[in-house]
Amino acid sequence: MKLTKLFKSAAIGLSASMLAVSVQAADVIKIGAVAPKTGALGGGAVVTQWPNVELWSKQVNAAGGLDVGGKKMMVEIIEYDDKTNPGEHIKAAQRLAEVDKVDFIVAPYGTGFNLAAAPIYAKYNYPHIAVSAISDKMPELTARYSNLFFTLGNTTSFSESVVDILKDMRAAGTIGNRVAMVNVADAFGIELAEAARPRLKEAGFDIVYDKSYPLGTPDLSPIIKGAKESNPDAFVAWSYPPDTFALTEQAIIQDLDVKMYYTAVATCFPAFVGKFGSKINGVFGAGGVNQDSPDIQAYFKAHKDITGKDADGWASANTYVSLQILGQAIEGAGTLDRQAVIDYIKASSFDTIMGPISFEDQISNRFWTVGQWQDGKFRGVKSSQMAGAAPIVAKDGWN
C-alpha cells in the first residue's frame, strides 16, 4: 500500500472514534502485541510501541483493510502487558500462538526482550521484525533464526557515530580528551559500553569515569556526582528511558557542565523536551529522523490526530515502519501463510515513511544513529545511508 494512499485513506483529520470499523470474524487478520505497559520499560513502550500499533491498525482498517490475495481483511489487535518481565513476555507470546491463534505478532520492545523472545517467535515461525533492538550479534542471530529481521542498526554503528562526533568536536577545539561513560546493566547498555570502550581508547580519549547501574535504579544522583568529580569534557550514557530522564535531571541539578552530553533511549521523547525545555538544546541522543521530510511530517500529524499523542523523534517512526513492512509483506505475499510472508520480506523492498527499506541477510542497513535537540526538534545528525542529516549545534550549559 503506497504511503500517499495510506495517509489519504486513513482520513487523518478524523477522530479515533470515527476510525472504528466493524469487522466480521471471518475477514480478520489477528495480530498479537506483547510489550510493557507497566514496569521499568512501561513508560518507553507507552510512548513508542503502543501508539503506533494503534495508529497503523486504525489506518489500515479505515482504508478498508489489507488486500490478501484479492480479499480485503481487517486487522484485529490482541494486546498483553509483559510487565517488563521476559518470562511474562514469553508466556504471553505462547498464549497468542496457542490460545488466541493469532496470524502475526508485533516484535517485542527493547533489545533484551527481542533477544530473549527470539526462540519462541521462531518456534511458531512468526515474522519477527525487531525494530527496537541494537546488537552486534545480528549476523549470528539471523543465521540461527530465519524469521528474524533487524531494522534499527548494530552496536558498532551507534558507538562509532558517538565517537565520530567526539572526534569532530575535539578537532574543532570544543572538547578535550576526558570522557565519562555510564550504562544501564541490560543487554542494550552492556553491549554498547563494551563496543564504545576500545573505540574511545583507539581515538585517543581517556575514559575518566566508567560505571554501570541496574535497570530501574531509583536514585542516579551518585552516578552524576561521580561523573562530575572526574572532571570530564564529555558525558556519554548508554541509557534506557527511566535513567535518561533521571540522569539528565541530576546533570542539571548538579550542573554537570560538559560541551558534549549524550543519553540514549528516550532522549528523543516529547516528554524529554516537555520536562527540560530549552535546557536540552544541544543534547545528543540515540537515533533521530529527518524532521524536514514530508512523509515524516505527515506521519507526525497522523500520530497526533489518531492517537492523541505526539510521536517521539526516532523510535516511534521506526516502530511504525516495521508495521508498514509487515502490512506490505502480507499484501505482497497475498496470503496469511507466515513462511510466505517471511520469504517476501527477505526478497522485497518496502515503501516507508523513512524511505525505501530492504534487507540484506535479514538486516537493514538504513537507520539513524545519533540525533540532537535543536530549537525544540530532535534532528538526526548521524546515520547509515539516510538523507537529511542536520549540522551539529553547540551546547552552552543548561540554560
- 393 within domain boundaries: no
Q: Which grid coordinates are listed for 40?
A: 521499568
Is the same domain home to 283 and 163? Answer: yes
What pLDDT shows up at residue 399?
76
45-90 residue pLDDT tens: 999 999 999 999 999 999 999 999 999 999 999 999 999 999 999 9
pLDDT digits (tens, 9 = 90+) for 372-396: 999 999 999 999 999 999 999 989 8
Residues 182, 134 share a domain = no
- For 85-140, the pLDDT digits (tens) are 999 999 999 999 999 999 999 999 999 999 999 999 999 999 999 999 999 999 99
Same domain? For 276 and 332 the reply is no
Same domain, 329 and 359: yes
Domain membership of residue 311 (yes or no) is yes
In a domain, 210, yes or no: yes
Q: What is the CATH number of the domain that holds 274?
A: 3.40.50.2300
Tens digits of residue pLDDT in 18-52: 333 344 445 899 999 999 999 999 999 999 999 99
Could you tell me if 260 and 207 lie in one domain?
yes
Same domain, 281 and 325: no
Asked if 127 and 12 sit in the same domain, the reply is yes
Same domain, 138 and 186: no
User: Is the same domain home to 124 and 270?
Assistant: no
In a domain, 206, yes or no: yes
Residue 243 has pLDDT above 70, yes or no: yes
Between residues 91 and 399, the one the model is more confident about: 91
Q: Is 76 helix (H, G, I), strand (E, B) or coil?
A: strand
Whether 302 is in a domain gets the answer yes
Cell 497475498 belongs to 334
- Phi then psi for residue 356, to 5 deg, are -70, 135
How many separate domains does the chain show? 2
What is the residue range of 102's domain?
Answer: 3-154+292-368
Q: Are residues 191 and 138 in the same domain?
A: no
> Is the same domain home to 38 and 69?
yes
Does the residue 304 lie in any domain?
A: yes
Instruction: Give 96's contacts (C-beta < 8 A, 6+ positions apart).
Output: 32, 34, 78, 80, 102, 105
* Residue 323: inside a domain: yes
Does 235 lie in the same domain as 297?
no
Q: Is the pLDDT of residue 12 over 80?
A: no
Domain assignment present for residue 177? The answer is yes
Residue 148 is predicted with a pLDDT of 98
pTM of the shown model:
0.88
| Residue 132: per-residue pLDDT | 92
